[in-house]
């Protein structure tokens, strides 16, 4: 299979990383850019397929979301869920200060 | 004991030849003495297993007769287990002890199985070699210099090495079938929605499906019987009626039409692997099946389609790992942004980060229509290939993989080479079909897997064909050298 690399620049990768909330070490940006360009080259093969009016398929069975009756079925398990959190206090999740 | 099938083990337990506690101790002893060579387990739960075995023994003594009662098994470390770490092979979840059970875990607990531990896997199920695990790579019991396949490589290696008779796996692009092929065991990826995904750590939600990994089709059927069915807690699980998957096993194959896609037998298929596949097909022909030449014209597009859809869904699913509610959190974050980015940077491995970046690209403004929407359109064309083929054949057969297990480290530096390993398995997930990998003998001392693909919800037919093949061949009984002792 012949795969052309797609043209992707360092800035593009840094922007994607920011969108995905990932940080790439400065010394790794070149290598990551190169690899992502190769992968995007692979997936770019789809551009040559004539898909005309084909309906996009999100679910392999074309299933639609099943609805349930609007009733409370879950019990409150806040303590169990917060017991595995990195930092909680008084039932609240702790994060660094957001507003000065 | 470790050479008996699940049906034989269940019979022996019921007739008091040995107890579940004795069987469990035997398996735990084998894991202790052999698994340092394979690294197939991330976590072994000796205390939990012995407690479950004692409880199964009490149920057996009371006359209970479940087909899996007292049977030891292992879960891929992607299924949540209450009180037992579920790492998904990632540093991100190294400290994650779930407060709830996956539906699959719960059903098998209720059936009286004995959970020995959690098996190794590619990080977040992203990989085809079990080399991206935070806990080190798993090695193939047939040749420890080779990979066991992935992502369910730990489950495949543990079953192949006779450490456990039964294991669960998950398959997003071949992650049950490819390791089953590489390790010489039998694995089934059910129809999308057949088995609940609740509590199965999400990778690509429109493709992920859990299923059985065992030594024979019959053992897979017994496990599928316990886990298939509608789950009100998984809105994508199917209400399609559940069958007894053992009921059709003994049906003769007379008149069965097997389609051989020419795209699965062309360039890229290793010759010795192809020879084994043809030998297996000849056995099915002798049993009354007819082989029919078919075409699945969009096969080649399944790789680019998969590598848009799966990363796109992964980038969305993995956005939940933010260092706030559970999982890894970086030390001393400067601010909220630093908490998110550094926790994710330090918690995820390279392949996971690559797929998140690719998925973020495919979903970003300006590229969505050209990539994600386009891939969803081609996905429909790929499914249509199969639906057209099933108008004239009952099942489809071919190789599970292009060649046998490759050497450790030989494909890690080139993601594309790794992605191409899945050329025969990806389309099945995109189309949502059930498919199996069944042992088809050895090529140069390494196992080869025959892939069987069926129409939606026809798992029983696949299991029937595999079982009939296993009545006239002993490939599924072949055991790697060290494990046979």
A26 touches chain B (CB under 8 A): no
- Residues with Cβ within 8 Å of B135's Cβ and at least 6 positions away in sequence, in order, are B39, B42, B87, B89, B120
Per-residue pLDDT, B414: 84
Asked if residue A1 has pLDDT above 70, the reply is no
Asked if residue A60 has pLDDT above 60, the reply is yes
| pLDDT band (50, 70, 90) for residue A9 | confident
| Contact between chains at B324 and A85 (C-beta distance less than 8 A) | yes
- CA B281/CA B289 separation, integer angstroms: 9
pTM for the structure as a whole: 0.97
Nearest to A56 among B337, B354, B377 (CB): B377
CATH number for the domain including B416? Answer: 3.90.1300.10
User: For chains A and B, what is the number of CB pairs under 8 angstroms?
Assistant: 169
- CA B63/CA B348 separation, integer angstroms: 48
- CA B432/CA B138 separation, integer angstroms: 28
CB B361 within 8 A of CB B371: yes
Optimal mutation site among A60, A85, A89, interface B, most CBs of chain B within 10 A: A60
Residue B100 lies in a domain: yes
Residue B307 lies in a domain: no
Is the bond preceding residue B464 a cis peptide, omega within 30 degrees?
Answer: no
| Contact between chains at B361 and A16 (C-beta distance less than 8 A) | yes
Per-residue pLDDT, B416: 84
Cα dist from B161 to B40, B104, B342, whole Å: 9, 24, 39
CB B441 within 8 A of CB B280: yes
Per-residue pLDDT, B56: 98
Cα dist from B76 to B86, B118, B180, B192, whole Å: 9, 5, 13, 18
Which residues of chain B fall short of a pLDDT of 70?
A: 482-485
Asked if residue A2 has pLDDT above 70, the reply is no
Query: Which of B172, B392, B312, B379 minimizes the C-alpha distance to A20?
Result: B312
Per-residue pLDDT, A3: 61
User: Looking up tokens 């601010």, which residue turns up?
Assistant: B335
Query: Which of B100, B147, B82, B83 minimizes the C-alpha distance to B120?
Result: B147
Optimal mutation site among A46, A53, A69, interface B, most CBs of chain B within 10 A: A46
| Contact between chains at B377 and A19 (C-beta distance less than 8 A) | no
CB B138 within 8 A of CB B130: yes
Please report residues of A whose CB lies closer than 8 A to that of B303. 42
CA-nearest residue to B331 within chain A is A86
Per-residue pLDDT, A65: 85
Per-residue pLDDT, B278: 98
Per-residue pLDDT, B428: 98
Cα dist from B300 to A37, B194, B370, whole Å: 20, 27, 19
Residue B449 φ then ψ, to 5°: -110, 130
Per-residue pLDDT, B152: 98
3-state secondary structure (DSSP) of residue A89: strand
Provide the number of structural domains found in chain B. 1
pLDDT in tens, B72-101: 999 999 999 999 999 999 999 999 999 999
Per-residue pLDDT, B172: 98
Which two tokens mark B159? 């079953």
- Residues with Cβ within 8 Å of B32's Cβ and at least 6 positions away in sequence, in order, are B44
Residue B295 lies in a domain: no
- CA B168/CA B161 separation, integer angstroms: 15
A65 touches chain B (CB under 8 A): yes
CA-nearest residue to B303 within chain A is A43
Q: If you ran DSSP here, which 8-state letter would residue B212 be given? A: E
Cα dist from B48 to B45, B152, B172, B408, whole Å: 5, 22, 29, 33
Residue B421 lies in a domain: yes
Nearest to A95 among B193, B324, B364 (CB): B324
Q: Which domain holds residue B96?
A: 6-256+392-484
Query: Which of B437, B36, B408, B414 minimizes the C-alpha distance to B215?
Result: B437
CA atoms within 13 A on the CB side of B458: 17
Average pLDDT, chain A: 90
- CA B375/CA B369 separation, integer angstroms: 9
Q: Topology of A1-49 in CATH?
A: Histone, subunit A (1.10.20)
CA-nearest residue to A53 within chain B is B377
Residue B168 lies in a domain: yes
Residue B303 lies in a domain: no
CA atoms within 13 A on the CB side of B381: 20
| Contact between chains at A98 and B336 (C-beta distance less than 8 A) | yes
Nearest to A61 among B98, B192, B303 (CB): B192
Per-residue pLDDT, B276: 98
């Amino acid at each position: 299979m012949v795969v052309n690399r797609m043209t992707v620049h360092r800035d593009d990768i840094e922007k994607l990383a920011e969108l995905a909330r990932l940080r790439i070490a400065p010394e790794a940006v070149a290598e990551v850019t190169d690899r992502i360009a190769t992968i995007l080259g692979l997936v770019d093969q789809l551009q040559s397929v004539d898909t005309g009016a084909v309906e996009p398929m999100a679910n392999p069975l074309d299933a639609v979301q099943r609805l349930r009756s609007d009733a409370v079925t879950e019990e409150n398990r806040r303590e169990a869920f917060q017991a595995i959190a990195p930092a909680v206090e008084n039932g609240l999740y702790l994060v660094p200060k957001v507003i000065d | 004991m470790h050479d008996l099938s699940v049906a034989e083990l269940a019979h022996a337990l019921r007739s008091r030849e040995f107890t579940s506690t004795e069987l469990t101790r035997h398996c735990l002893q084998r894991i202790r003495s052999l698994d340092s060579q394979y690294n197939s387990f991330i976590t072994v739960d000796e205390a939990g297993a012995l407690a479950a075995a004692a409880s199964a023994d009490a149920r057996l003594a009371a006359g209970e007769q479940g087909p899996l009662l007292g049977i030891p098994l292992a879960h891929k470390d992607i299924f949540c287990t209450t009180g037992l770490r579920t790492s998904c092979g990632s540093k991100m979840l190294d400290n994650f002890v779930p407060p709830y059970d996956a539906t699959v875990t719960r059903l098998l607990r209720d059936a009286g199985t004995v959970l020995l531990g959690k098996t190794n896997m590619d990080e977040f199920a992203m990989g085809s070699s079990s080399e991206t695990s935070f806990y080190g790579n798993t090695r193939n019991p047939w040749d420890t210099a080779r990979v066991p396949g992935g992502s369910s490589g730990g489950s495949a290696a543990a079953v192949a090495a006779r450490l456990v008779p039964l294991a669960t796996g998950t398959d997003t692009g071949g992650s049950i079938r490819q390791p089953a092929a590489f390790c010489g065991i039998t694995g089934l990826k059910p129809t999308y929605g057949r088995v609940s995904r609740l509590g199965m750590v999400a990778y690509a939600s429109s493709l992920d499906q859990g299923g059985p990994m065992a030594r024979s089709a019959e053992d897979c059927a017994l496990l599928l019987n316990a886990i298939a069915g509608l789950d009100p807690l998984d809105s994508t699980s199917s209400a399609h009626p559940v069958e007894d998957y053992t009921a059709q096993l003994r049906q003769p194959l007379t008149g069965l039409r097997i389609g051989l896609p020419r795209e699965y037998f062309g360039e890229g298929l290793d010759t010795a692997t192809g020879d084994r596949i043809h030998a297996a097909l000849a056995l099915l022909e002798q049993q009354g099946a007819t082989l029919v030449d078919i075409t699945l014209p969009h096969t080649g597009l399944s790789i680019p389609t998969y590598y848009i859809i799966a990363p796109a869904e992964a980038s969305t699913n993995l956005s939940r790992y933010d260092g706030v509610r559970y999982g890894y959190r970086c030390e001393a974050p400067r601010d909220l942004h630093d908490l998110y980015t550094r926790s994710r940077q330090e918690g995820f491995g390279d392949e996971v980060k690559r797929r998140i970046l690719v998925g973020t690209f495919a979903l970003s403004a300006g590229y969505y229509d050209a990539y994600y929407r386009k891939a969803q359109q081609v996905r429909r064309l790929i499914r249509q290939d199969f639906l057209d083929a099933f108008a004239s054949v009952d099942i489809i057969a071919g190789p599970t993989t292009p060649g046998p297990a490759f050497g450790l480290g030989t494909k890690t530096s080139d993601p594309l080479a790794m992605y191409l390993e899945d050329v025969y398995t990806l389309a099945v997930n995109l189309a949502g079909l059930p498919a199996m990998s069944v042992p088809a003998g050895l090529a140069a001392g390494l196992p080869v897997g025959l892939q069987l693909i069926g129409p939606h919800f026809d798992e029983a037919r696949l299991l029937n064909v595999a079982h009939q093949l296993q009545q006239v061949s002993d490939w599924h009984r072949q055991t790697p050298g060290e494990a046979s002792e």
